[in-house]
Structure 1
Amino acid sequence: MNKHILRDSLDDASVAPEACQVISPANAERPHAGAVTARVLGTTAFRMALDTSGAAIARRKYKRVHDVCGPKTHHVIMAYNGSVQRMERRSGRSVATGTFRPGAVIIIPEGSSSRWDIPKPVDVVEFYLPHATLERVAEEADTAGPVNLLERTAHPDPVTSRLLLTAADTLEGNEALDTLFRRQLTSLLATRLLAAHSGLPTTIQPTMGGLSPKVLSRAIERLRPDSDADVSLAALASDAGLSRFHFCRAFKKSTGLSPHAWLRQHRLEEAKNMLRDTDASVISVAVALGYSSQTAFAAAFRKLTGETPSNWRRRAR
């Protein structure tokens, strides 16, 4: 599976006047919103695909923006990581000003067009969310009414901001974990946006109770490293007869952990058992547990235990 590691863009360029281009909704081959944004910012960012719907996340650094940004193919949500500065956004005759600071977010709904004036260097993490994904999460969460995101200009939202700024740190180089995490993160961010930035009076309905013992047992069997079953959220939820949103909530209520966190913790325990009770090499343990490399396994192990696998093995024996 292709993996893209999120990292800072090395290009810190200004925006050329022609960089922002209007993308016609009638165009059958509109580029991904991230590609349009790359032209707007004049930078090349490394993107990490979150799920097969086309959702993506990127980090960019640029000097300034003074131009009109045409309609995007996705909802674009930006979290700021930098010093405090004023900014301005114009849509027709409407002018919105705000203070860009840590904990603030910008939301550009799909299809909207506006002129941006940001005079100083900016470091942002961007999330590109397809409207179809937002509608899917809204349906699973039993929302009522049309689903539309509100425009936000440097709007205080430390929860969404923190989710975006820390997203890359949770990737560990394990294919099953990465895939599951990306899907959960997409749904989590979409759920947060519905709750805080859609204008719906009631967005999320509570889920009562956890999974039944039988359903929980089947889910855990799927998640075990020696299982060949599909461990995607869609497969886990379908087997439980629930939507992905309700399955995640019920699984966490039953186990205290999300499916991704449970899988990560279980593989750590498996790794400890193999390191303590067998003479298998560290790389053999990594391969057996599905990690893409010994380095990825060692990084994940150290993150959760504070030790390298080799040091932990010496201490445990």
Structure 2
Amino acid sequence: MSKSILRDPSQEDPLAASEARQDHLPTADQRPPDAEMARVLNTAPLRMALDPSGGAIAHWKHEPLHDVVEPMSHHVIMAYNGSIQRMERRSGRSVAIGTFRPGVVIIIPEGSSSRWDIPKPVDVVQLYLPHTTLARVAGEADMAAPGILLERTAHPDPVTSRLLLTAADALESNEVLDTLFRQQLTDLLATRLLAAHTGSPTTIPPVMGGLAPKTLLRAIERLRSDSDADVSLATLASEAGLSRFHFCRAFKESTGLSPHAWLRQYRLEQAMTMLRDTDSSVASVAAALGYASQTAFAAAFRRLTGDAPSDWRRRAR
């Protein structure tokens, strides 16, 4: 009778394991990650932000899990945010035992399948990353073509963990800001995965300078637009004649802020001007700046200033 092989994840050959688990899975049998997670977790996400590329960021809270996660069509990267607990992940004859804690990541490569045994409730943020996005970022960053993404079980990576956990709180129910943030974060995480979690880790080239003054002015004019102008990273980068990867790095080199952080600061300044210099209601200010509700605007304003909009207005006048 065959016998399970118990392995410490730190001693396992992660590249061989990942290749073995992904090598024979037909694409047609792979499920969308959001649908598979909803099935296996038997709940809906607290929040999920979808991207036209097919990627997404989702925040889940779910009960203990004892089930098989079937092959999915995207890479799934998770950051854990909860009490420390031991868990098991079984793939074929291999068993990985890990400890969930803040600062670790879990990676389920596209097309792989495993059984999970998690004894306690879980609070987790997940990134669903199409392999095409990983390949695009590698090409734009002048890195080698991405190899096999390694399977990780409670693997220490505070950088990736912090970036993902931040995403759960950074979405503001503002379509323009949230889209720009999600696109930046996805590209940043893809870069991190290429550098730290593939069979052939690659080095990220250094920043080679900022945007030309006229190019920077055009980008800022588009970000400031009050119309329905497209402020996606793809459009901003295309107008600058750069890839998304190089545009983001050059924009930050020029301004000290990422495109999303710059736009968020600009919207905050607009909000302050409207609150201080007009009698517009807080709800009207929220609508004018593209927030889905007064509540969403107030929460975003408080995160940046420490005050509710109405309290800030009283002190500013």
Aligned to 1:229: 229
Q: Residue type matched to 1:193 in 2?
A: L
Q: Residue type matched to 2:83 in 1?
A: S
User: What per-residue deviation string (whole Å, max 9, x for no partner) do you get for residues 278-300 of structure 1?
Assistant: 33333333333222333322222
Q: Residue type matched to 2:245 in 1?
A: F
Aligned residue-pair number: 294
Dislocated runs of 4+, deviation >6 Å: none
Aligned to 1:54: 54
Q: Which moved more, 1:178-187 or 1:284-293?
A: 284-293
Give the structure-2-normalised TM-score. Answer: 0.85
Name the CA distance, whole Å, in 1 between partners of 2:280 and 2:310. Answer: 11
Give me the identity figure in percent: 77
Aligned to 1:152: 152
The unaligned stretches of length 5 or more in structure 1 are 1-22
Name the CA distance, whole Å, in 2 between partners of 1:295 and 1:210. Answer: 37
Aligned to 1:275: 275
- 2:255 is the counterpart of 1:290: no
C-alpha distance 280-260 of structure 1, shift in aligned 2 (>3 A): same
Aligned to 1:261: 261
C-alpha distance 25-215 of structure 1, shift in aligned 2 (>3 A): same
Name the CA distance, whole Å, in 1 between partners of 2:69 and 2:276. Answer: 57
Aligned to 1:25: 26
Counterpart secondary structure, 1:271? helix
Name the CA distance, whole Å, in 2 between partners of 1:96 and 1:148. Answer: 19
Structure 1 residue 43 displacement after superposition? 2.7
Aligned to 1:5: none
C-alpha distance 282-225 of structure 1, shift in aligned 2 (>3 A): farther
Aligned to 1:9: none
Q: Residue type matched to 1:291 in 2?
A: Y
Q: Residue type matched to 1:133 in 2?
A: T
Give the structure-1-normalised TM-score. Answer: 0.85
C-alpha distance 128-304 of structure 1, shift in aligned 2 (>3 A): same
Aligned to 1:170: 170
Aligned to 1:13: none
Aligned to 2:95: 95
Name the CA distance, whole Å, in 2 between partners of 1:292 and 1:115. Answer: 39
Q: Residue type matched to 2:289 in 1?
A: L
**Aligned pairs (5 A) from 1:1-317:** 25-27=26-28, 30-317=30-317
1:74–1:110: 8 Å Cα contact kept in structure 2?
yes
Name the CA distance, whole Å, in 2 between partners of 1:295 and 1:184. Answer: 25
Higher helix fraction (1 or 2): 2
Counterpart secondary structure, 1:99? strand
2:106–2:155: 8 Å Cα contact kept in structure 1?
yes
Aligned to 1:3: none
Q: Residue type matched to 1:197 in 2?
A: H
C-alpha distance 199-234 of structure 1, shift in aligned 2 (>3 A): same
Name the CA distance, whole Å, in 2 between partners of 1:134 and 1:233. Answer: 16
Q: Which moved more, 1:118-127 or 1:140-149?
A: 118-127
Counterpart secondary structure, 1:252? helix
C-alpha distance 284-195 of structure 1, shift in aligned 2 (>3 A): same
C-alpha distance 229-204 of structure 1, shift in aligned 2 (>3 A): same
Q: Which moved more, 1:203-212 or 1:112-121?
A: 112-121
Q: Which moved more, 1:259-268 or 1:112-121?
A: 112-121
Name the CA distance, whole Å, in 2 between partners of 1:284 and 1:38. Answer: 36
User: What per-residue deviation string (whole Å, max 9, x for no partner) do you get for residues 16-54 of structure 1?
Assistant: xxxxxxx962537x5311211222223332441341112
Q: Which moved more, 1:56-65 or 1:69-78?
A: 56-65
Q: Which moved more, 1:66-75 or 1:266-275?
A: 66-75
Structure 1 residue 227 displacement after superposition? 4.4
Counterpart secondary structure, 1:124? strand
The unaligned stretches of length 5 or more in structure 2 are 1-23
Name the CA distance, whole Å, in 1 between partners of 2:252 and 2:262. Answer: 9
Counterpart secondary structure, 2:28? coil
Structure 1 residue 202 displacement after superposition? 2.2
C-alpha root-mean-square deviation of aligned residues, in Å? 2.2
Aligned to 1:7: none
Structure 1 residue 176 displacement after superposition? 1.2
Structure 1 residue 225 displacement after superposition? 4.1
Q: Residue type matched to 1:25 in 2?
A: P
Structure 1 residue 260 displacement after superposition? 0.6
